[in-house]
Amino acid sequence: MSDYKSDYIVEMRHITKRFPGIIANDDVSLEIRKGEVYALLGENGAGKSTLMSILFGTYEPDEGEILVNGKPVKFHSSTDATACGIGMVHQHFKLVEPFTIAENIVLGVEPEEKKLGILPWVNIRKANQQIAELSRAYGLEVNPTDRIADVPVSVRQRVEILKMLYRGAEIMIFDEPTAVLTPQEIDFLLQIIDNLRKDGKTIILITHKIAEIKRVADRCAILRQGRLIDIREVADASAQELADLMVGRQVKFMLEKTAPQFRAPVLEVQGLTVKNEHKFDVVKDVSFTVHGGEIFAIAGVSGNGQGEIADAIAGLLKAASGKVLLNGKDITAMPVRERALAGLSYIPEDRHETGTIPDMMLRENLALREYYKEPFSRRGILHQEAFRSYSEQLIQTYDIRCAQGPETVLRSMSGGNQQKAIVGREIEEQTDLIIFVQPTRGLDIGAIENIHRQILQERERGAAILLISLELEEIMALADTIGVLYRGEILKIDAAEKMTTQEVGRYMMGVKEA
């Protein structure tokens, strides 16, 4: 018994964690071997991140115990976990933007020296050197003196990885690391993860993307609604099996899409330029046309001007130059409501900021496009009965799940149902043009299917659809035509069937002709 040595570097036993109203983890037990890539697969809200936040010391479990290297540990904060050799790359990076890369990496474990024997100071030059060496050793090229604010997401992620290496982490947790990356960057990251494993590190990968698991993971635990469903050897499990386990029912991977039937042009954008508050051109001379019955998708890495294009067409931002035509009519100078009446619907990126008024009731939110018209408003007086019956009708049609019916406060609903409400409200207007920006962000597979079906239905009806998404898979699945946006410019427009995912990915990184 005395020479008992665990085969496992991490054991989590019977972990239960409750938050007010939900059980995030329900009696979950995992054992992770040293030197393996262990994937946690599950939909949003399945409890993957919570479970790993417990391992990283951010939360304390209500029940259960954790063993690291066979020894029971109790983490009260991430500092305790770091001391045990556990590191984590969070989905939302924890970086200080005005600081340099090196400053971010050493934060919390700064190399402090004494000047003249008394004056303490942080020797950042030494840190720069150490980090340059470390980054070369692992193929994670960064320039330690660059400011975080000036570097792209993929470099920020490298900084987070270097942060763990600098602290000597042996167990590395990656929380949805590929969500923000282009296909090429994903390849690079998976290569890095593989290198880290070869170096003897243990990797835990939180994801809902099965393709990545198939490529890099050894074993995979599937979580659903806080419960551990199964643990599989990745080599023995098919992608379909894993998907079905994750969702809990049969998943259809392919959308049924009919051949496109383009009608007359609905939206024509001609030389559109949009400036941000620093007078910088965030959208540069963009031109494209969307026909009735066409899904025109704009692909691109986040922050390349997608949101601004949509806002400028919908009238939330002013165009610095260029023209926007709707059904041949110039709407460039029209205020938002007139554009909407001219036949434009908009599902904006941010559900809470622009899409809804989260603290008002569902019935009010559903009538945001109609409230000032009859029968909702008569001589300036609102008629609640009209709101109620209208919203009940939409709740039915669009399958919006809400605890208190039309009186449900929007904020209390799940993200998927909030999105269904917005989509329903906008589609109900039956406009000629519908703009979808990131329509499925943060939604689980069921809700994604629902919204994709709606988008295709509108296309059938003959509406022109402008789809802006960061999810390349979504674009490849839905689009008839793809435009790739890079630094505010459209580098390429082509029919979707003529382009591969890899090609689109290359344009997204600014590479023109190969």
Partner 1 sequence: MNKVFTDGLSFALPLLIMAIGALYSEKSGVTNLAVEGFQGVGAFFGALAATLFAPLIGNGNQAIIYIAMVCAAIGGALFSCIHGLLCIRFRANQVISGVVINILSVALTAFCTSAANAAISGNASNKFVLDVSSKFTVPLLSKIPWIGGLFTDMYPFEIIIAVLVVVLWYLMNRTRFGMRLRACGENPQAVDAAGANVTRIRWMAVIISGALSGIGGICFAYSLLGNFSPSIYQGFGYLAIAAMIFGNWNIGPTTLACLAFGLAKSGGLQLCIAAKLPSNYTDLFLLLPYVLTLLLLIFFSRKNHPPKAAGEPWDKSKR
Binding residues for partner 1, rule: CB under 8 A, are 77-79, 82, 88, 90, 92, 94-99, 103-104, 107-110, 112, 119-122, 163
In angstroms, the CA 441 to CA 419 distance is 9
The amino acid present at 281, given as its one-letter code, is D
Q: Which is nearer to partner 1, 121 or 372 (CB)?
A: 121
Q: Which is nearer to partner 1, 80 or 230 (CB)?
A: 80
Please report how close the Cβ of residue 94 comes to partner 1 at its closest, in angstroms: 4
Token representation of residue 395: 């709740």
Strands (E), 276-383: 281-291, 295-299, 321-326, 329-330, 344-347, 377-378, 381-382
3-state helix, strand, coil in the chain (%, to 5): 35, 30, 35
In angstroms, the CA 320 to CA 281 distance is 9
Straight-line distance from the first to the last Cα atom of the chain, in angstroms, rounded to the nearest whole number: 63
Please report how close the Cβ of residue 120 comes to partner 1 at its closest, in angstroms: 6
What's the Cα-to-Cα distance from 189 to each of 155, 170, 182, 207, 490, rounded to whole Å? 11, 18, 10, 14, 27
140-162 b/e with 16+ CB inside 10 Å = b?
Answer: bebebeeebeebebbbbbbbbbb
Please report how close the Cβ of residue 192 comes to partner 1 at its closest, in angstroms: 20
Please report how close the Cβ of residue 313 comes to partner 1 at its closest, in angstroms: 28
Q: Which is nearer to partner 1, 100 or 440 (CB)?
A: 100
In angstroms, the CA 312 to CA 333 distance is 10
Token representation of residue 311: 């806002």
Strands (E), 276-310: 281-291, 295-299
Q: Which is nearer to partner 1, 50 or 431 (CB)?
A: 50
- Choose among 481, 478, 474: nearest CA to 499: 481
Q: Which is nearer to partner 1, 92 or 252 (CB)?
A: 92
Please report how close the Cβ of residue 42 comes to partner 1 at its closest, in angstroms: 17
Opening angle at CA 69, ends 64 and 73, nearest 5: 40
Q: Which is nearer to partner 1, 373 or 411 (CB)?
A: 411
Q: Which is nearer to partner 1, 123 or 354 (CB)?
A: 123
Q: Which is nearer to partner 1, 100 or 417 (CB)?
A: 100
Please report how close the Cβ of residue 97 comes to partner 1 at its closest, in angstroms: 6
Please report how close the Cβ of residue 105 comes to partner 1 at its closest, in angstroms: 9
| CB 242, CB 253: distance < 8 Å | no
Please report how close the Cβ of residue 206 comes to partner 1 at its closest, in angstroms: 14
